[in-house]
Structure 1
Amino acid sequence: MQLPDTMTAVVLRGAGGPEVLVPEARPRPRPAPGQILIEVHAAGVNRPDVLQRMGAYPAPKGAPDWPGLEVAGRVAALGEGGSRFALGDRVMALLPGGGYADYAAVAEENALPVPEGLSLVEAAGVPETFFTVWHNVFQRGGLVAGERFLVHGGTSGIGTTAIQLARSFGAEVYVTVGSPEKCAASLKLGAHHAINYRDEDFVEAIKAATGGQGIDVTLDMVGGDYTARNLAVAAEDGRIVQIAFLRGQAVEIDLQPIMMKRLTLTGSTLRARSVAFKASIARALEEKVWPLLADGSIRPLIDTIYPLENAAEAHRHMDDDHIGKIILTTRYFAG
C-alpha cells in the first residue's frame, strides 16, 4: 500500500489555552531501525498533554513537538530490524509525544498487541494510564493483595485504571472524588470505599473505615496540602507515590510521621524514561494485565470521543466533569 507523504497533525501554535491546538499538514514520519509506523486510528488525551499545551511540559529531545502520549491503530510500515509485528497488525503504543496525528513512529518494544475483543478506541485509552499505574502502584509502591490502596481523582483516566487494577490484584480500594455521581461511578468500577472530598475530610473518613490502621499505598496526583494528609492517613510502613501536583509542587513536610511510621514518599515521571525502561513495563503488562483485558475483567472507561481536528474541544472538556478517558479519532478510524 502506498503511504501518503504528508499527514494531519494537531500542533501547538505557541503556549496557552485549547485554542493553540491547530490541525495542519506535516510530513509523515518514517520508522527508524527498530521502530514501527502506526496508522493511528485513535489517540488518548491526557493531563500531561494539557501541561505541554500550556508550556509546562516540553517534549523530550527527539520526540515530535506536538502532544499525544498514546495511540492505537494498525502497523503501516516496519523499520529495519523490526520483527515482532506484521503489516496490518492491531497495536497500541506508549509514545514520548506526537500521538495527535494520522501516523506515529515508535520503538516496537514500546508497542503492544491489542487483545481480541478490545476496540481501537478502548486500546487508545490504555498505554499511558496502564504503564503509569503499573509502574507507580505495583513496582514503586509495591502494592500486594490484602493491602489498602488509595487513589485521589478516582474517576480520572489514572483513577479508573488504578481502581480496576488494584481490585483485580486483591487490594482494598479507597478513592476520593468530587461528587456523588463520581462516588457511584467509582464503586461501580470496583472501589470498596468512595469519599466525596467536598462533603467530608478524607483523612477522618479513612481512619474511621480502617479502624485507625490507615492506607498501605497512596497514588497522588494532587500534591499541595494533600501531601501532609497523605502522611497522616498512611499505615505503618506505608508508601506514598507522587505522579503530579495539581495543587502545587512546593510543600512543607513534617518528618515525624515519616520516621515514626517508617513511611516511603517517592514519585516518578515516565515520559522521558528510556525505550528499554518502558519496554520492561510493557513486558510486565503483557504478562500480568493483558489476560485481564482479553477476558473483559478490566476495561478502559471511555468518557467522550472527538475527531482529531477537534482536539481543542477535547482539551476544554478535560476541565469539565468527566469520568474516564477522552479519545481522539483520525480519518482512518472506521468505528
Structure 2
Amino acid sequence: MTRKIANDKILIGVIIVGIIVLVKFETRKMSIPINADDSGISITDEEDEKGLQAAKDKFHGCMIKAAKIYYNESTKFFEEFAKCIKKHIGIGVSEMDNFSNYFFGEKKMFLPMKDADDDCKWLTIGIGGVAYAEELFLKKYPQCSVFGADPADTGNFSKIGQLRPFGVGIEDTNIDLTVMINGSYTKKVMKVVSLTNLLDDLVKTRFVHYLTIDIEGFEYIILRELVGNGKFAHSDVVFCQIDAELHHPKFPKAHSSIKKLNAVQFMLDFLQVSSPYIPVFNVPYLRHPHQKVTFVNVVDPRCKRAFKPQSYFGKNKNNL
C-alpha cells in the first residue's frame, strides 16, 4: 500500500513536470513573431529591403540610360529623370509631407517622420527671405528644432529658429556672391563658413534629419562632398533627407565657377551606386528651369529608424 502511494506520487510529479515543460514551450512559441525567421529578423523587413534595393537598381539603370542620351541637355535629362523616379521609386506625392513656401509655388517635399524623434533637426541653407515652409514644418513636428544660415535676406526666420548670417561652403572664406536682398539680386563680398563648422557651432550635431538648400548654384559644390570620397562623407556628416533647388548652371546670375558645371554628371556622381541617397521627388522650378529634388538617405540606420524609407518598397509595391 505504501509502495503504491509512493508510485502514485512519482507519477503525479512526472505529470506536473510535463505540464510545466509544455506550457513553457508553448509560451516560447507564442513569443516568436510570426513574421520573423530564426535569427529574429522580420520577414517583412527583409522583403522591404529587397524591394528597396531592386527599386534603387532599376532606377539607377534608367538614369544611366537617360544620361547617355541627354548628357549635354540637362533639361531633357531631368524630364527623363523624373519619369525614372515615378516608374521605379514610385512614392506618391500624397504619401509625402508638403511644406509649401508660397513663393513661386515652391514645395519642400519630404517623407513623413514615422518614429517621432524629440531631438530632430531641420537646417535651411539659403533662406531667401521666406520661411513659410519652416513654419508649417514646426506646426506638424513641434518637438523639432529649426536652424538656418543666409548671408543676406533672412526675413522673419529668427522668430522661428536659430540663425547665422553667413554663407555656407567647403571651407571658411570670403567670396563675391550674388545674393537676394529685398527681392532683388545684389553682388556682395560675404563671409562663408564651412558646413562642418556651421553644424558644430549652430546645430551642435553633424546628424540632421532635414536639409533644405538653395544657394544659387553653390548647392552642387556642397552636395557632391556628401558622397563617395567627398570631404563631408568622411566627416560624420549625415542628412536623412535633402530638399535641393538645383539651379540651372547657365542661369543669368550664376557664379562663374558654376557656369561650366554639367548637371547631368553631377547627378550621376551624387547618385552613384555607393551613394546612400535615392531621389523620391523631382519637378522643374521657375523658367530657367531649375530642378527641385528630394533625396532620401536609405542607408544610415538612424535615418531608417526615423523615416522608414524601406517600408515604401514591400512586396505589394509596384516597382516594375
TM-score scaled to structure 1, two decimals? 0.33
Greater per-residue helix proportion: 2
TM-score scaled to structure 2, two decimals? 0.34
